[in-house]
Amino acid sequence: MAATRPPVLPEHLRSEFEELVSHYPERKAALIPALHRCQEELGGWLSPDTLEACADFFGLEPVEVFGVASFYPMFQLRPRGRHMVSVCHNISCALRGAEEVLEKACEVTGSPAGGISEDGRFSVQRVECQGACASAPMFDLDGVYHENLTLDDVERILREVK
Amino acid sequence: MKSPELYLLSRTNRPDSHTLDVFRRHEGYQALERVLKGGFSPQEVIGMVKDSGLRGRGGAGFPTGLKWSFMPDPEKDPRPRYLAVNADESEPGTCKDRVLLEKDPHGLIEGILIACYAMQVKTAYVYVRGEYRLPHDRVAKALAEARAAGWVGENILDSDFSCEICGEETGLMESLEGKRGHPRPKPPFPAGFGLWGQPTTVNNVETLHNVPFIILRGAEWYRSMGTEKSPGNILVGISGHVERPGVYEVPLGTSAQKILEDHAGGVWKGRKLKAWIPGGSSTGFLPGSQIGLSMDHDSLKEAGSMLGTAAMIMLDETACVVRAMQVMARFYDHESCGQCSQCREGTEWLSQIFRRIECGDGRVEDIDLLTSLANGMAPGKTICALADAAAIPTHSVVRHFRAELEAHVEQGRCPYLSNDQPSQATVGAHA
Ligand SMILES: Cc1cc2nc3c(=O)[nH]c(=O)nc-3n(C[C@H](O)[C@H](O)[C@H](O)COP(=O)(O)O)c2cc1C
Ligand code: SF4
Ligand code: FES
């Protein structure tokens, strides 16, 4: 069998990460910000190839990189819909209808909680406190907070997504 | 009675409060100027912060000046040293630092610079939680503005003081170093062995926001607000079943009832208060009858609770405390990093037991089991305080709402749920 070369990060990310690494006394301190950028640039999730390429770049074992990536809920290790709806289900949101918001979001998008819609457009997930407790209930849609949600808001906001 | 002076939120309602321009027009960077041009020594700055009585706003309430004085003398310990700024707001119910990060990022930068001057630190890292995109962008933009204007970098205001601040989107300490976010045992304490094994101080965002005001207006002014042992103002985030949830600035020692009624407009829908949490989910429940308590460290401690992050969470008379606790227990189970067996097992058990009691499958023995599990998660038995953070609310439910637990067990169902509702419905009806 021919030796397979590890997957390589795209050039623009490599140069960006070289810059990032220079801010720290240790190279691997830049791993988490780098994983964030990979997720943004490379299809919204961290594929096994991406993790391996990061391991190679940072001089780490792939299992170490996987360990870090799997620790933080903000990293997606499975393919996901093009739009991510993250509904907070923690206490302050729960007191103001988070479960109904979640149910509505699933209904409008066709994605089950923790899954992906059949057309691949949406993923809906439960998340812990997002620091928007005094404007509950809330969800994060593709990195933007939507707060003080009514069920009508949920429907309108998600139907307007292109 | 005159209304209390506001300073923490004095800029936040102004248009473009996050810009250098607006900041400069409202006292911005004047405290730093005074420190650097007024010949204050680092020890004098620490002395002022000590005299002010400022206590950390991250949850533990540790005196800030004292914490700063633990940093080793750079003459004797020349290793690089760091300030790590905790902008990882994650205690459920807590949403106050986000306001400061979004609306007054330069106020934080000024606080950081003065702290770094006092502790003779040349590099600070601001750890902003990954979900806080807008706050992160605002801090990054403010840093760029401050750097361009010479407030951050080499020889600030032509003094000998140089300071770099990095705004990072990443978990504190361990994760700042790129490892999994595993809390480390203490000791060693971070003052001697923090980031990359170097002397490090960790401070909360709101704590640092207080500092420039103390420098500008003096320790005596600071002590004129709040209580003797908890001086100054604090940001209270009030959420749950109230008419006007929000983040409000009040002097420490203000009664919780006043905050509920005057600021938050009272319990919503004209209902009565059943239970409340004073300082984030880890501080546990108090009965509604104790709403007269003062919001300061000592008063709440005497009542068997804690000020924590001053994140008040309110439950009206129709809410189910067991279901609320089930939501919180699920969170601690989810957050446990699993290094300590008492915490890994304990949080999982607590979550399961509260769940089965809420679903009507609980047994009478479960109530004492909750207590004994929580006892096994007391401080000192685990590496970090997360296990205790799950134990405290558990104890509070057994202590103050035992009858409610028993009613669930006896009736084999949640008494606050009508028959046609699924048992996983939410804690409160949607408005
Ligand atoms: C379970 C737990 C949750 C915490 N949550 C926060 C938080 O959300 N924000 C914060 O700044 N500190 C939090 N802390 C406290 C920090 O660990 C740290 O003590 C604090 O940032 C110190 O800064 P201060 O002295 O300025 O308050 C938490 C601690 C524990 C054990
Ligand atoms: S107490 Fe819990 S969260 Fe803290 S280190 Fe131990 S297992 Fe991890
Ligand atoms: S509990 Fe939902 S944002 Fe805090």
CB pairs under 8 A between A and B: 149
3-state SS assignment for residue B85:
strand
Residues B259 and B210 in one domain: no
Sorted by sequence, the CB contacts under 8 Å of residue B53 that are 6+ apart come out as B63, B219, B222, B223, B228, B229, B230, B231, B232
Task: Report chain B's mean pLDDT, rounded to a whole number.
Answer: 91
**Residue of B204, B205, B206 to test ligand 1 pocket, by largest number of atoms within 8 Å of CB:** B204
Percent of chain B with pLDDT over 70: 89
Q: Tokens 């109230």: give the residue.
A: B242
Residues B40 and B176 in one domain: yes
Query: How many domains does the structure of chain B reveal?
Result: 3
Q: How close is the nearest chain A Cα to the Cα of B88, in Å?
A: 10
Q: What DSSP element (H or E) covers A38?
A: helix A31-41
Average pLDDT over residues A61-69: 91
Q: Which of the listed ranges A12-26, B262-276, B333-347 does the model predict with the highest average pLDDT?
A: B262-276
Q: Is the pLDDT of residue B176 over 80?
A: no
- Answer whether residue B426 is part of any domain: no
Query: Of B181 and A144, which is predicted with more confidence?
Result: A144
Residues B264 and B395 in one domain: no
Average pLDDT over residues A70-83: 86
Query: Of B401 and A67, which is predicted with more confidence?
Result: B401
Residues B78 and B130 in one domain: yes
Q: What is the pLDDT of residue B155?
A: 96
Fold of A11-71: Arc Repressor Mutant, subunit A (1.10.10)
Delimit the CATH 3.40.30.10 region(s) of chain A: 83-159
B180 Cα–ligand 2 center, Å: 13
Residues B277 and B348 in one domain: no
Average pLDDT over residues B248-259: 98
Is A99 within 8 Å of B130 when comparing Cβ atoms?
no
B55 Cα–ligand 1 center, Å: 12
- Answer whether residue B376 is part of any domain: yes
The CATH number of the domain holding residue B339 is: 1.20.1440.230
The CATH number of the domain holding residue B308 is: 3.10.20.600
Secondary structure of B193-224 in the HEC alphabet?
A: CCHHHCCEEEEEHHHHHHHHHHHHHHHHHHHC
Q: Is the pLDDT of residue B429 over 70?
A: no
Nearest CA in chain A to B326: A91
Is B92 within 8 Å of A128 when comparing Cβ atoms?
yes
Nearest CA in chain A to B94: A131
Q: Is the pLDDT of residue B173 over 90?
A: no
Provide the β-strand partners of residue A124.
Answer: A85, A113
Provide the β-strand partners of residue B344.
Answer: none
Is A90 within 8 Å of B331 when comparing Cβ atoms?
yes
Q: What pLDDT band is residue A26 in, cutting at 50, 70 and 90?
A: confident
- Answer whether residue B417 is part of any domain: no
Q: What DSSP element (H or E) covers B347?
A: helix B341-358
Fold of A83-159: Glutaredoxin (3.40.30)
Q: What is the pLDDT of residue B30?
A: 98
Q: What is the pLDDT of residue A70?
A: 87
Residues B63 and B207 in one domain: yes
Q: Which residues line ligand 1 (CB under 6 A)?
A: B 56-60, 62, 67, 86, 88-91, 94, 202-204, 207, 282, 384-386, 389
Q: Please give the residue range of the domain that contains residue B172.
A: 20-223
**Residue of A89, A133, A148 to test ligand 3 pocket, by largest number of atoms within 8 Å of CB:** A133
- Going by alpha carbons, the residue nearest to atom 16 of ligand 1 is B58
| pLDDT tens sequence across B136-163 | 999 999 999 999 999 999 999 999 999 9
Residues B27 and B92 in one domain: yes
Last residue of a domain, one of B202, B223, B244: B223
| pLDDT tens sequence across A85-122 | 999 999 999 999 999 999 999 999 999 999 999 999 99
Distance CA B322, CA B137 (A): 39
Task: Report chain A's mean pLDDT, rounded to a whole number.
Answer: 92
Distance CA B211, CA B35 (A): 12
| pLDDT tens sequence across B211-229 | 999 999 999 999 999 999 9
Last residue of a domain, one of B175, B192, B223: B223
Residues B97 and B114 in one domain: yes
- Answer whether residue B1 is part of any domain: no
| pLDDT tens sequence across B1-40 | 567 889 999 999 999 999 999 999 999 999 999 999 998 9
Q: Is the pLDDT of residue B189 over 80?
A: no
Q: What is the pLDDT of residue B315?
A: 98
Residues B312 and B328 in one domain: no
Q: Is the pLDDT of residue A24 over 90?
A: no
Nearest CA in chain A to B319: A95
Q: Tokens 């969170």: give the residue.
A: B331
User: Is the CB of residue A51 less than 8 Å from the CB of residue A66?
Assistant: yes
Residues B299 and B375 in one domain: no
Strand bridging mode B233-240 / B311-316: parallel
Distance CA A149, CA B165 (A): 36
Distance CA B213, CA B209 (A): 8
Residues B120 and B30 in one domain: yes
Q: What is the pLDDT of residue B219?
A: 98
Residues B259 and B386 in one domain: no
Q: Is the pLDDT of residue B171 over 70?
A: no
The CATH number of the domain holding residue B145 is: 3.40.50.11540
Last residue of a domain, one of B201, B223, B245: B223
Q: Touching check for B98 and chain A: CB below 8 Å?
A: yes
Q: Is the pLDDT of residue A22 over 90?
A: no
Q: What DSSP element (H or E) covers B125?
A: strand B123-128
Reported pTM: 0.90
Delimit the CATH 1.10.10.1590 region(s) of chain A: 11-71
Interface test mutation site (partner A, options B91, B123, B179, max chain A beta carbons within 10 A)? B179
Among B231-245, B311-325, B405-419, the least confident range: B405-419
Q: What pLDDT band is residue A7 in, cutting at 50, 70 and 90?
A: confident
